[in-house]
Structure 1
Amino acid sequence: MKIVLATSGSRGDVQPMFALALGLRKKGHEVLLVGPPERIQWAKELGFPYQGLGCDVTEFLNSIDNPISISSAVKFVNYVRNEIHTQFEMLPDIIKGVDLAVGSSLMFSLSSITEALHIQYRYVAFTPQLFPSSFHPFPAIKTQTLPGWCNRLTWQLAALGDRLNTERLVNQYRNQLKIAPLSNLWRHVLGQNPIAACDFQIAEIPPDVIQRPIHTGYMHLHMPKPDYPELEDFLISGSPPIYAGFGSMPPRDQARHVPLLVNAARQFEKRIIIPEFSTKSIDIPYSKDVFFIRNYPHEHLFPRMAVIIHHGGAGTTATATRSGRPQVIVPHILDQYYHGHKIFTSGLGAKPVWRSRISPKTLTKALNFCFSNPDIQMRAKAVARSIQTDQSMEKTIQIIEQTASEQV
């Protein structure tokens, strides 16, 4: 079968779609992945057909100084509108003649285009927070302990904002395609029975979600273990270190936190591993207890850590949970706050430390919680053993194959 997978977002939005694409190709399907243009080289390295679409997402994210601000919200809305324009202009030709199109993340137009072209469609979500519910707020809301009525209100307000902005734009294109206007854009994007490609050990699907998602589990991209002698020497020269990396957070912001992270690790007489690009904006003297790591697969690194400090993206959270190590999440945008809350309430890590509140005191307190709590360490290992990655991928592929074989 001919299948197009389309996504728009950061590396965390693209990586699981690469995993799915490779899994489908192994089953004999003809698959094209469509996503941000800066991932074209990565696709070439994997030897996979890839079509760049839209703007450079990494460049856009790095241009945002404060993600929780009115100016950033305006920039994000403009970014989404530009993506919608590009999607409606390019996707019809890309997906013409395929058996199935699968969307994820900010792919707002695909459900409408497939409807117009009579092509089967499915949406994949990497976190339960994408499904409107009274059990969690709209992703733009940081606080995760609101009462149910308040959570529901945040979704209603988000739907109203959509109606006045992105939904109106999508309906203009739907009119050109001669299909009926939408009254709820996000509900249409999710569709019926969307795939929840996330681990239930981290978060269950709330019972009031009307889309009836199928919970399959996170789709990990298995990468070969690189030859990295310097890293291996560092790891075997002492006890397991702390890892600290913040994914989609702009490099200049990550660099500001390096001294704090190093000093916090030293409070516990622990060594620390930090992504190498974090040093570009700051002068860190050489030290035997700090290792600045080049690009290296988390699935091979995380199991050898003592504690994992990260930003709380869906992919990093899934990989950290699978590693069986306690986590400290430092969220700074969108669903990262949700994941931080879920990791804490699931007994897999410390209470999240918001980026706006990170300090020597708050970080030390979170690390102390992980190091001094044997129940957290034991539970992290037990949960990791319960995650069946191969079964998650197989179940997702079966659902997609079944969808592709159905008549529109």
Structure 2
Amino acid sequence: MRPIITILASGTLGDVRPLAALGRGLHEAGYAVRVATHARFAFLVRSQGLAFHCIEGNPSDLLLHDDAALTLDSGMVRGAVATLRYLRAARAVYARMLDTATAACSGSAAIIVSLASCWGQLIACALGVPCIWAPLQPITPTIRFPSPLLPVTPSLGARARRLSYMAIELATWLPWRTVLRRWRARAPGSRQTPLDPFALARHSRALFVYGFSPHIVPPPDDWPPHHVVTGYWFLDDPAERLAPEIEQFLAAGEPPVAIGFGSMGGRRPREDTLLALEALRLAQRRGILFGSADVTRLAAGRRDVLVVPHAPHRLLFPRVDAAIHHGGAGTTAASLRAGIPTITVPVGIDQPFWGMRVAATGAGPPPLLRRYATPDRLVRVIAAATDDLVRVRAAAIGRLIDREDGVAHATEVITRAM
């Protein structure tokens, strides 16, 4: 029988889609792959020929109802209060998620987790199987740069930069310690193991395969050798096509600017849409906006703007003049791969980090934090991003990323470890 690898994937589409790509690569390499994730991603998983197991409860869904939780976008005090409110509301959801994920992992030869499913390390220990980490952002401590998940990025010395990772680790699991303790009381295995998944990973020397490009984040020289940067994990579907209305809009004038703020960045759709519409008007640019029916109503009468619910980034981004987005790991990867100027308007989590990495490579200007974004400022950023030198650098980065095969590299590394 083929060994079963279970991938625990929690969070948003941007968290789950790269893991589905990795799962497909492992499946093609001969493993029996099951992806345990939330019900709304069942079609995505099954379309890749992978077994789907449902994880009930998704704490990320609660963020859609609060635009301040886990960010400083609305100020430090309001953000802290909203985050505490989110943590209280998410405890019952978290407990249900742990129980159903444990059942889904039964019979696995190995379990793969990401940062959003780091609690899977505890499940692997309870079941006595190896845990492989597959994060989409650098979380291994280093002195080279502070944790990408810091809410602010002050100037820090080498020691403080390394300690910043420990602080983020505590913030990631400590709020759930009561839920984790109760889960462990009814889970198989020892009742004495630590509840800290990061400490367990270090103790077991768990393999880390990172799903981003070494051209965007070169692996620091103080990382352990079993922490490997493999390249981005893209999920390309040969059957995907751009919708006819998008093709018509693209053919009707100059290349537009693509604008979308993702699931986390779009918690205030009206404000984000008005920002984008006014910036496009002032810049005299055409635009394609990702949004719902409410966004369509706000853009009614604008012949220079097309609103679409979604579109494959792989096909759309190479045909636009620039991409403006929240700076999520997956969307940033897609716009960099397309070789176009990238403009990030981050809200929180790791988004400012990716915006700074874009600027460091020269593929776009420094990030414009959402709380400081105005139409006038966004117009200036668009002008800076479409400079000829930025275009040349963005195109060069796109060629480098396009030549990578992150899924194949990660599959090779995991196969050697298995």
- Tell me the TM-score normalized by structure 1: 0.89
More moved, 99-108 vs 248-257: 248-257
Counterpart secondary structure, 1:248: helix
| Aligned mate of 1:182, from 170, 188, 194 | 194
Q: Distance in 2 between matches of 1:162 and 1:260?
A: 32
Which amino acid in structure 1 is aligned with residue 358 of structure 2?
A: I
- In structure 2, the CA distance between the partners of 1:311 and 1:251, relative to structure 1 (3 Å rule), is closer
Runs of 4+ in 1 over 6 A off after TM superposition: none
- 1:207 is displaced (CA, Å) by 3.0
**2:76 matched to which residue of 1?**
none
- 1:344 is displaced (CA, Å) by 1.0
Alignment of 1:347-366 (within 5 A): 347-366=362-381
Counterpart secondary structure, 1:244: strand
**1:394 matched to which residue of 2?**
408
**2:109 matched to which residue of 1?**
99
Q: Distance in 1 between matches of 2:244 and 2:171?
A: 52
**2:307 matched to which residue of 1?**
292
**2:6 matched to which residue of 1?**
4
Q: Distance in 2 between matches of 1:381 and 1:22?
A: 28
Which amino acid in structure 1 is aligned with residue 123 of structure 2?
A: I
Confirm or deny: 8 A CA contact 1:273 1:293 kept in the other structure.
yes
- In structure 2, the CA distance between the partners of 1:137 and 1:216, relative to structure 1 (3 Å rule), is same
- 1:261 is displaced (CA, Å) by 1.4
- In structure 2, the CA distance between the partners of 1:86 and 1:137, relative to structure 1 (3 Å rule), is farther
- Tell me the TM-score normalized by structure 2: 0.87
Confirm or deny: 8 A CA contact 1:260 1:359 kept in the other structure.
yes
| Aligned mate of 2:125, from 87, 111, 115 | 115
Question: For this pair of structures, how many residues does the alignment match?
Answer: 402
Confirm or deny: 8 A CA contact 2:242 2:311 kept in the other structure.
no
Q: Distance in 2 between matches of 1:193 and 1:43?
A: 24
Matched, 1:137 2:153: no
Percent identical among aligned pairs is 24
Counterpart secondary structure, 1:249: helix
- In structure 2, the CA distance between the partners of 1:252 and 1:376, relative to structure 1 (3 Å rule), is same
Which amino acid in structure 2 is aligned with residue 386 of structure 1?
A: L
Q: CA offsets per residue over residues 34-90 of structure 1, 9 Å max, x none?
A: 112222243355554212213245632211221321133224434664455234423
Confirm or deny: 8 A CA contact 2:332 2:354 kept in the other structure.
yes
**2:276 matched to which residue of 1?**
261
- 1:315 is displaced (CA, Å) by 0.5
How large is the Cα RMSD of the aligned pairs? 2.6
Q: CA offsets per residue over residues 170-201 of structure 1, 9 Å max, x none?
A: 45655663154327432435753301111112
Alignment of 1:38-57 (within 5 A): 38-46=40-48, 48-57=50-59
Counterpart secondary structure, 2:306: strand
Counterpart secondary structure, 1:287: coil
Which amino acid in structure 2 is aligned with residue 178 of structure 1?
A: S
Q: Distance in 2 between matches of 1:76 and 1:352?
A: 27
Q: CA offsets per residue over residues 243-277 of structure 1, 9 Å max, x none?
A: 10011236451332223212322333320000131
- 1:288 is displaced (CA, Å) by 1.9
| Aligned mate of 1:194, from 208, 216, 220 | 208
More moved, 5-14 vs 222-231: 222-231
Q: Distance in 1 between matches of 2:341 and 2:142?
A: 28
Q: CA offsets per residue over residues 287-331 of structure 1, 9 Å max, x none?
A: 221011232111110011111000111110111100000111011
